Structure 1
Amino acid sequence: MSAEIKVLSTSTRANVEALKHHMKKLGFKYFEEKDGWVTFGTHIMMNGEGVAPYDYISISVRFMDIDVDLLGFDLINKLPEAEQAILDFYEAEEITE
């Protein structure tokens, strides 16, 4: 049984780097890329299953899908700018669905 490792393309990596830069300006740190999702959070915490992001935004790098969990009001106010950065990422990736 072989384990399949999915690697992001060079162009997608460049687009993710641009997104990471923009999200950093908004106060989010890059957390991880896993199973086709890129996650940004303000910090990490321990949960019952290990380490997880806190106040996070996860986006799919294959489909137009966003998962957001924000408790900080100052972060909620940044959502429109974060949303625009994510939409710019999807446009660069030519993802429309």
Structure 2
Amino acid sequence: MSTEVKVLSTSTRTNLEALKHHMKKLGFKYFEESHGWAYFCMNVFGEADELATFEDCVCISTRFFSFSIQVDGLEVAKKAPEISQAILDFYEAEGSNES
């Protein structure tokens, strides 16, 4: 049986912890980091033995400049500018940009 090895650099882990803290203040719960993506959700539905469905989620890549925001509620839509800024701050700290 193999296990997934976390290969995030120390600086990325530090930057991700800062992002987790900021997203928590915005009402998101950190869900998981998997395959280079970190998931923050306000609502997660599903049983332990079935696939969960997510609502009001933000997914960011910890390896390259890419993120997505799934907005199902007005509460998250109102926070979009703050969410975007928190994500952009993460990428700036990582040294990533849109070029």
TM-score by length of 2: 0.86
Q: 5+ unaligned residues in a row in structure 2: which ranges?
A: none
Alpha-carbon shift at residue 10 of structure 1 (Å): 1.1
Distance 1:20 1:4, change over 3 A: closer
Alpha-carbon shift at residue 43 of structure 1 (Å): 2.2
What amino acid is the match of 2:46?
M
Q: Aligned residue for 1:30?
A: 30
Determine the C-alpha separation between the residues in 2 that align with 1:45 and 1:39. 14
Determine the C-alpha separation between the residues in 2 that align with 1:69 and 1:18. 21
Alignment of 1:1-97 (within 5 A): 5-46=5-46, 50-97=51-98
Q: 5+ unaligned residues in a row in structure 1: which ranges?
A: none
Q: Supply the RMSD in Å over aligned alpha carbons.
A: 2.0
Determine the C-alpha separation between the residues in 2 that align with 1:8 and 1:52. 26
Determine the C-alpha separation between the residues in 2 that align with 1:65 and 1:77. 21
Matched position secondary structure for 2:97 = coil
Alpha-carbon shift at residue 31 of structure 1 (Å): 0.6
TM-score by length of 1: 0.88
Matched position secondary structure for 2:52 = strand
What amino acid is the match of 1:25?
K
What amino acid is the match of 1:13?
R
What amino acid is the match of 1:93?
E
Alpha-carbon shift at residue 6 of structure 1 (Å): 4.1
Determine the C-alpha separation between the residues in 2 that align with 1:5 and 1:88. 26
